Structure 1
Amino acid sequence: MTLPTSPTPTPTPTPSATPTATLATIDTASQLKIVNVSTGEVLTVAGGNQAAGTAVATAADNSSDVQRWHVMPMRSGQYNIENMLTHQVIGISNASTAGGAAAVQWADNGTNDHLWAFYKLSNGNYVLKNANSGLYLQSDTSGTITQGARSTSSDTQEWTIDATGAPAYPMPMTVMGTGTGVHDPNMIRDTSGTYWLYGTHNTLAKSTDLVTFTSVASGDISPDFSWWASKNTTGGGGRTDIWAPSVMYANGTYYQYYSIPIYDTPSKVGTNQGAEAVIALATSKNPDGPWTDAGEIISSCGITAGCTTGFNAIDPAPYIDSAGNWWLTFGSWEDGIHILQLDPATGLRLSSNNTLYDIARRGAGEEGPFIFPQTVGGTHYYYYFAPINECCQGTNSTYRIIVGRSTSPTGPFVDRGGIDLKDGGGTILLSTHGNIFGPGGQSVMEGPTAPLLVYHYYDGSLNGAPRLGLNKLTFDADGWPHVE
């Protein structure tokens, strides 16, 4: 979840007016077919290739996934355009602003060449304008898809946009009851089969069927642990406000890793003062407490005087590797996502290994990491899930969930297109569709029949209220997850 201390990303340019066209709103709920008017062929990725940098092309329509697209709103009338096979987005090679530069697919790394505005012409066709270059998507005479200055002398820059009727993504599972208006949800199932749902701002709920949830009035970490006073002198406000808890059951004990923002003066509460936060641990023999203070894991000091940390101690998530070693991933906007090693005997940081492993970074924002070990197709992977872009803006939230994987618990993690997550990589797993805005803050758990993606989203039918999202995860023949 985005702390109040997270830096504000650079605003993207607002598309300029086009005299012959009107800025259009495009359907985000459906998979789209984008057809070039000049050739009659549909937009696709050449050869159905998964590799990042593969050329965007056109071909005869065969209704395959690689010929279907999904648009994701990015404010100011702009969109990212996501391919429904590769889950990469359309950009311009090397972010070029030159006419004739090729359109390619790439990881959603937040650069302006991935932003497109759709303008509807008086004849009902559309032109697609690139925010970075100010040029338009076109099909050249050679069949290559490039960008060029606006021309009305031919229809090579004109496209029809047709909703196929197929949903861009499945809807979340139906949930009801109290406690489902949650942020940064983390869920576990106890030994009796009851599901426990933890969330930011000290929320806790339970369910026996994954449908009806009931808020639990007590059981969260609400005591003011004495050592917090040295980290936070404001008393109330942020002092006992738990963020992004993540619970792991091992050794007959529930280990709850949590973060709290640090404010050194009351006037700084809720201000953009830097990445000042602490990650700590509490333990219990029961999923709803009472919780015993186990102490601090790691803290960060943001931009305060004398600060020596560049990371943000926020959004912790533990996991156990195939050899039984314990790890914790954490981090956000400041300098990316990191992993540290834990001591299985205490749940605290392992004193014999002070290494911080850098595993992901994205200039346009990434946070809330979660690693889910899973054996798929005979290979034991560590799947990395994280939300990117901005959270917590209701129906204006641009959050979405990406995935990468590694065969090592500490990386390197790469996406499906072959890009290292330290270089802005990440394959889109779930993004805004229809009334489901800004999915993110995710975790993954073993469900009764399949792994479950647990996340929050903003419900467009409820004025952008936060809601719990649940979807099953399935893995394809290449071992990559998809939502169901």
Structure 2
Amino acid sequence: MAYLLVLSTLFGALAHGYAAPGACSGACNLHDPGLIRRDDGTYFRFSTGNRISYASASSIQGPWTGRGSVISGASSINLPGRDDLWAPDVYKVNGLYHVYYSVSTFGVQNSAIGLATSSSMEPNSWTDRGSIGVSSDTSKPYNAIDGNLINNNGRWYMSFGSFWNGLYQVEMNGDATQATSSAYHLAHQPAGAHAIEGPALYQHGGYYYLFFSAGVCCGYDRSRPANGEEYKIKVCRSSSPTGGFIDKTGVPCTSGGGTVVLESHGNVYGPGGQGVFNDPSLGPVLYYHYVNTNIGYADHQKLFGWNRIDFSSGWPVV
């Protein structure tokens, strides 16, 4: 029976052209992962909940060991949700590790992006720096969550956004602690509920690839969306990190464009909350969370997934 189950899972994945997620051992339940490798080779992985949970491992496969929380108490950003922080992104800036986090509550625009820093990422080494100057309310066309940092020729850019009018970006100062520009538009899904969020920019060759999650993210154990409307990972690309993103068919990302990179297949359901990491051994890796339908659909059952991605065609292929 176990042999037949393995064959069924592999066939389901291959039939859709997707490999199964890479191996994960240890602490593998999470939501919205963020990944970085310290100079000594230790991997650190951050995730939503517990005031930004984090774990470490000797490789991307694990075994992952919990290291506690980034923020020891509530965030210094005085908004609802300040003790239940979301969607971390991690980057090393001028020798200091930055973890950006979101302060919000589900389905509202009363949101802000904050920052915590550490020189080592060890427990109790984090300093909460508060808001980076990116916030939203009902007067804004965006929701200020799901921040993602990228460096381009010494200049820092923060992309963010969820639903409403989609994904936006601001330029940051030289140490990537504060926004220095007003927000400008990157991507939008005009149809339906505008279900687009979680931008993740990655440079490869002469292009900047804007990965994002599209569809219904959560609560699959309570109400399953119509087939195909669950979370999936899409991408657009541009020769600039600040705009002009189009999908593989030439549709602008601001007009609903987006080429699917990874979607439900086999026992993998609703992959999203993604990032891209350049692993020294594996090359470019797409990482994300997903539901294993053989285990359960609840948010707390979501798992850490990863796959190598191939850019040889000019577009990322899992």
Count of matched residue positions in the alignment of Structure 1 and Structure 2? 294
The residue number in structure 2 matching 1:356 is 183
- Please tell me whether residue 320 in structure 1 is matched to residue 155 in structure 2: no
| Cα distance in 1, alignment partners of residues 33 and 162 from structure 2 | 17
State which of 28, 35, 39 in structure 2 corresponds to 1:191.
39
The alpha carbon displacement at 1:284 in A equals: 1.0
| Displacement of 1:222 | 3.0
2:289 matched to 1:456? yes
- The code of the aligned residue for 2:316 comes to P
SS in 1 for 2:254: helix
The yes-or-no answer on 1:295 pairing with 2:126 is no
**Does structure 1 retain, via aligned residues, the 8 Å contact 2:77–2:130?**
no
Asked if 1:413 corresponds to 2:245, the answer is yes
Counterpart residue type for residue 178 of structure 2: L
Tell me: CA distance 1:260–1:327, structure 2 relative to 1, closer, same or farther (3 Å): same
Amino acid at match of 1:247: V
Amino acid at match of 2:86: W
Q: Give the one of 318, 336, 348 matched to 2:166.
A: 336
Question: CA–CA distance in 2 between the matches of 1:436 and 1:288?
Answer: 33
Does structure 2 conserve the Cα–Cα contact (< 8 Å) formed by 1:435 and 1:461?
Answer: yes
How far off its partner does 1:438 sit?
A: 0.2
DSSP 3-state at the match of 2:71: coil
Match of 2:72 among 222, 225, 230: 222
**For 1:251-290, what per-residue CA distance to the aligned partner results, in whole angstroms no more than 9, with x for missing partners?**
110011110116xxxxxxx6x5x32111011111012452
2:290–2:304 contact (8 Å) kept in structure 1: yes
SS at match of 1:481: coil
The answer for the alignment partner of 2:58 in structure 1 is 208
Q: Which residue number in structure 2 is paired with residue 261 of structure 1?
A: 104
Please tell me whether the aligned partners of residues 454 and 470 of structure 1 are also in contact (alpha carbons under 8 angstroms): yes
AA in 2 matched with 1:386: F
SS in 2 for 1:181: coil
Which residue pairs with 1:426 in the alignment?
A: 258
Contact 1:30–1:168 (CA under 8 A) maintained in structure 2: no
Moved more, 206-215 or 383-392: 206-215
- Aligned residue for 1:177, secondary structure, equals coil
Q: Is the 8 A contact 1:29 1:433 kept in 2?
A: no
Matched, 1:371 2:201: yes
CA contact (8 A) 2:93 2:175 kept: no
1:29 and 1:390, CA in 2 relative to 1: closer, same or farther beyond 3 A?
Answer: farther
Question: What does the per-residue CA deviation read over 1:414-466, in whole Å, with 9 as the maximum and x for residues that have no partner?
Answer: 01110000000000000000110000000011112311111000011102221
Give 1 or 2 for the bigger CA radius of gyration.
1
CA deviation after TM superposition for structure 1 residue 167, in Å:
4.8
- Aligned-residue offset at 1:170: 0.6
2:66 aligned partner, one-letter code: V
Q: Does 1:170 align with 2:3?
A: no
What is the CA distance between 1:294 and its match in structure 2? 2.1
Distance apart, 1:324 and its partner CA: 1.2
* Correspondence list, 1:19-168, <5 A: 166-168=15-17
Change over 3 Å in CA distance of 1:222–1:334 after alignment to 2: farther
Structure 2, unmatched stretches of 5+, are: 1-7
Shift of 1:310: 2.2
From 474, 477, 480, give the equivalent of 2:310.
474
**Candidates 310, 327, 332, aligned match of 2:141:** 310
Q: Which deviations, in whole Å up to 9, do the C-alpha atoms of 1:46-89 show, x marking residues without a partner?
A: xxxxxxxxxxxxxxxxxxxxxxxx9xxxxxxxxxxxxxxxxxxx
1:239 is displaced (CA, Å) by 2.4
Q: CA deviation at 1:199?
A: 0.5
- The match for 1:389 is 215
CA distance in structure 1 between the aligned counterparts of 2:61 and 2:282, rounded to whole angstroms = 15
1:15 corresponds in structure 2 to none
- The whole-number CA distance in structure 2 between the counterparts of 1:251 and 1:374 is 22
The verdict on how the C-alpha distance between 1:248 and 1:429 changes in structure 2, with shifts beyond 3 A counting, is same
State whether structure 2 residue 85 is matched by structure 1 residue 242: yes
Residue of structure 2 equivalent to 1:404: 236
Instruction: Give the Cα–Cα distance (whole angstroms) in 2 for the partners of residues 360 and 30 of structure 1.
Output: 34
Match of 2:109 in 1: 275
So what's the TM-score if we normalise by structure 1?
Answer: 0.58
**What is the one-letter code of the residue matched to 1:409?**
P
The alignment's C-alpha RMSD in Å is 2.1
- Aligned partners of 1:409 and 1:428: how far apart in 2? 20
Q: Structure 1 CA distance, aligned partners of 2:35 and 2:101? A: 14
Q: Which amino acid aligns with 1:287?
A: M
